[in-house]
Structures are given as C-alpha cells and as structure tokens.
Amino acid sequence: MSQSYNRGLIEDFGRWKEFSAGMWAWIFHKFTGWMLIGYLFTHIAVLSSAIAAADGQTMMVAGESVDAYTGTIQGLEGLFIVRVLEVGLLAVAVFHILNGLRLLMVDLGIGLEAQDKSFYASLILTGVITVASVPTFLTGVGL
Amino acid sequence: MSTQQQEPETDAEPEPESQETPTDQEMSGLSSPQQKRLQRKHEGAAERERAAAEDDLEGDTVHLKVFRFDPEVEGKQEPRFDDFHVPFERGMTVLDAVIYARDEFDSSLTFRHSCRQAICGSDAFFVNGRQRLGCKTQISELDQPVRVEPLPHQEVVKDLVVDMDHFYDQMHSVEPYFQQEDLPDGELEEQRQTRENREKVKMSTRCIWCGACMSSCNIAAGDNDYLGPAAINKAYRFAMDEREDEEIKEHRLRIVEQEHGVWRCQTQFSCTEVCPKDIPLTEHIQELKREAVKKNLKFW
Ligand code: HEM
Ligand code: SF4
Ligand code: FES
C-alpha cells in the first residue's frame, strides 16, 4: 500500500457537539474528580493555619486580634469570591457523587439502558441542589 | 437502485420476546433490555416512515460533501471535500447517494460496499459527525449538507477507504472461533446449545465487523493496543457459550483481562450508540469485567 493519511485528532474534541450522554458524563466525571483533588490541597493549606495558631500566632481581623486559624477562616469567608467558589465546589462534589453512583450501577450492570437518563438526572439534581444552597453560602457576605 | 430496506436483519430474525416468551422466567430477564431496544427501533422505523411520507425532498437534490484524498495523484494528496448534488429518491441511503455520485459524476470516488443490506460490514462511514453504516442510513433522516468522511482513528487509504488491518488484528487476537475438543455425551454428534444460552449470546453474534464501534471509542484512539469493543464482544460471544469447557473460558478471560483489555473501557457508551447491529457492547464489556473479577477471586 502506498502512503496513507492520518487525520489526527480532529475527530476527538473537535466533534464535541456530537458527544452523547455517556461521553459527557465521562468528561465531567474526570473534571470533577480532579477538581476535588485540587480542593483537597487548598483545604489542607487552609486548615494547616491551625499549626500556626497552636504556636500562639495571632492576626488582626476587623480590628480584633484573633488566633491565626480563626483569622484565616474569617478572612477567607469574608470574601465574596470564596463564597462563590464554595458554591462551585458543592456543585462539583454533588455531581461527582451522583454520577459516581451512576457509574457504580453501570459497573454492576444495573439499568444500562437508562444510563443516559441517569446522567441527565444527575445533572438536574446537581443544579437543583446547587441553586438551593446559594442562600446558605451567600449569607452575611459583603460584595 | 434505492435499496428501500430498513432494518432487514430484525425483520428476518424471529423475535421471540415480542410473543409469549417473556413469561418464561430465564428468558425475560435477558430479553428485557433487548425488548426495549427493539421497541425503540420499531418506533424509530415508524417515525422514519412518517418522515419519508411527509418529506418533500422528492424531486429535490441531496447535497453531499465527501472527503477526498488520493496519495497517488498529484493535486489530490491534500485532503479536501468535494460537493455532489445527487437527485433524491424515496428511500435513498447514504450509500445509494455516494454510488450515484461515483457512477454519474466522478468515477474515481472510492469506497467499500458490497451487500447493501447491513450484513457485510464494509461501508461504515463518518456521516454528519457520527459513525454510521452507509447502506442503513436514510438520507431523509439527515441534515444537509450530508458530510461523508472516512472512519476516524484509522489511516485513510483513499477517499472513504480506511485501513482495517489493525481492527482485524484485534478481532483475531481474541481467538474468535469455537474451541471445544470433546464431543458431547450420548449419541449426539453436534454441539447443541440450550435455547437460554443461545438467547444469552444472541446479540453478540450479530457483529458484522464494520469497525464503527472501534472508530467511535476515544480510548481505542488513545491506546492502540486496546482490544476495542468489537473484539471484546467477540470474546464475550465465546466466553458465554456454555458448550466450551471451563478451562477454555478461563483462557478467554485471561485474554480480555490483560492490561489492554476490558479494564480500559471507561463506560462512555460511544460504541453502543453507534453499533449498527444494536449490540449492547458496553453491557457485554461490563459483564466480562465482572466475570474476570469473579474468576480471580475464586483462585485467590
Ligand atoms: C461519595 C463520594 C464519591 C463517589 C461515589 C465517587 C465515585 C467515583 C467513581 C465510581 C469513580 C470511577 C470512575 C470510573 O469508573 O472511571 C471516581 C473517580 C475519581 N474520583 Fe471519585 N467519588 C467520590 C468522591 C471523590 C472525592 C472526595 C474525590 C477527591 C478528593 C474524588 C476524586 C476522584 C478522582 C480524581 C477520580 C478519577 C477521575 C479520572 O478518571 O481521572 N472522588 N469517583
Ligand atoms: S460490534 Fe457493532 S459497530 Fe462494532 S464492528 Fe461489530 S457490528 Fe460494527
Ligand atoms: S454494504 Fe454491506 S453493510 Fe453496507
């Protein structure tokens, strides 16, 4: 055979408009899984301010002197962007858990005919829970 | 010249699940997903019929955009799309349309086809962004212009012809043939299969080696050694066949549980979506994963 032609990856992410439910579920699951890992590191970093607090370090928040741990948390929670990121984190975690349960069912061979519907259900439920959480996350924060 | 047929294979095949068999316990569990598939299929066929009756494409032309590439002709080595305007006929399939384009407009247009009835598996194309069998896809179902491209993730040899060697290698690597030395007991000379076991492997036997599933799988695209859905389905067809001895089944499971076997599947369902023979590929891959785990637990 003479030389042939390799069309490379054009058909992969270039055809995202044609992706079906299972493909989106896979992409979102990867994405949310790695986001959660990323959050884990920031979470550890923030919580480790407790070490500084245990060493007796203090900081000033709103004119009061508090220990380093409380100060760090209060400082972060006072930021609007952090509250928004928390809503995002909740959305990511909820989707990952719901779709994770869907994947467990798929692994057990249960309800494979409804795998697309269970993906859409995960999405809708994630949206509902996220919206419902907004008041809780955004109370008492100045813009 | 239009082939006019839709889903000939299901019509030709007896469909026990649509009659009284569902009351049969062993069968009903197996056939229910398939029943749903068949139901969806019938609904789809009715829908198409309605669309075909209503459509006013009649007398119109179909705008095809066909991928062209020819390594042997100077000036065709750079891939491009050619436009063809083919007169529409009721019941025209994508294959009919490219055949017309080749016969009437450009005899150098190259593609594989043979049976025109979804049984030889030679004309899987990438039509409007999805792997489809040319002869099983009605033009009236598609948005225009209809883009016809060779299967993704395979080397293009010429126009719509792709190199299938790797796909066939993967198919052969799962030893896709019945392996049973001993004849059954008694005076029987044949290897008889129970009805239930036949039902179990029925869908998996329908593969026509078209390669659509492998082409749709982005894991197979990234890992050239991955067996791919069709080969794993072939392994399933024999591993689940009770006429083969237990040792042979274990041998088969060892093949599919290797590094580039079933565990590569990320349950994206792309293969199941595109398979023109409606084989529940993901379901079969998942079942083999569970069988592999069970086998290994047994020999802990
Ligand atoms: C109830 C909670 C959770 C459930 C049910 C769940 C479920 C799953 C399942 C089933 C998979 C495998 C997907 C597959 O088959 O390919 C997975 C992957 C993963 N999960 Fe979770 N998970 C949960 C919580 C978490 C948390 C808290 C984290 C992070 C700290 C996390 C990070 C990941 C990562 C990184 C992956 C791999 C993604 C990839 O394929 O690259 N998960 N999860
Ligand atoms: S499993 Fe389906 S899509 Fe894959 S080669 Fe066989 S018939 Fe084609
Ligand atoms: S021409 Fe044989 S499968 Fe389409």
Supply the range of the domain harboring residue B174: 165-179+198-296
Contacts of B161 (CB under 8 A, 6+ apart): B110, B111, B112, B150
B123 & B211 share domain: no
Report B:171-210 residues touching A (Cβ under 8 A): none
Domain total in chain B? 2
Q: Is residue B42 part of a domain?
A: no
For chain A, say whether B224 makes contact (Cβ under 8 Å): no
Count CB neighbours of B62 within 10 A.
Answer: 23
Report B:266-285 residues touching A (Cβ under 8 A): 266-270, 272-273, 280, 282-283
B66 & B142 share domain: yes
B212 & B132 share domain: no
Q: Is residue B33 part of a domain?
A: no
B202 & B289 share domain: yes
B175 & B225 share domain: yes
Which chain B residue shows the shortest CA-CA distance from A11?
A: B152
Nearest CA distance, A96 vs chain B (angstrom) = 15
User: Domain with B69 in it: what CATH number?
Assistant: 3.10.20.30
B68 & B148 share domain: yes
Give, for all 300 residues of chain B, the pLDDT tens digit. Answer: 444 444 444 444 444 444 444 444 444 444 566 677 778 778 877 777 666 555 555 568 999 999 999 988 888 888 899 999 999 999 999 999 999 999 999 999 999 999 999 999 999 999 998 999 999 999 999 998 999 999 998 899 999 999 999 999 999 999 999 998 777 777 777 888 899 999 999 999 999 999 999 999 989 988 999 999 999 999 999 999 999 988 999 999 999 999 899 999 999 999 999 999 999 999 999 999 999 998 888 755
Q: Is residue B29 part of a domain?
A: no
pTM of this structure: 0.82
- Separation of alpha carbons A79 and A69, rounded Å: 16
User: Domain with B211 in it: what CATH number?
Assistant: 1.10.1060.10
- Separation of alpha carbons B212 and A2, rounded Å: 24
Which two tokens mark A130?
Answer: 């996220």
Show me where the domains of chain A are located: 21-137
Q: Is residue B62 part of a domain?
A: yes
First to last CA, chain A: 67
Q: Give me the DSSP letters along B145-156.
A: SEEEEPPTTS-E
B170 & B134 share domain: no
**CATH topology classification for A21-137:** 3 helical TM bundles of succinate and fumarate reductases (1.20.1300)
Which parts of chain B are beta strand (E)? 61-68, 80-87, 124-127, 130-133, 146-149, 156-158, 161-162
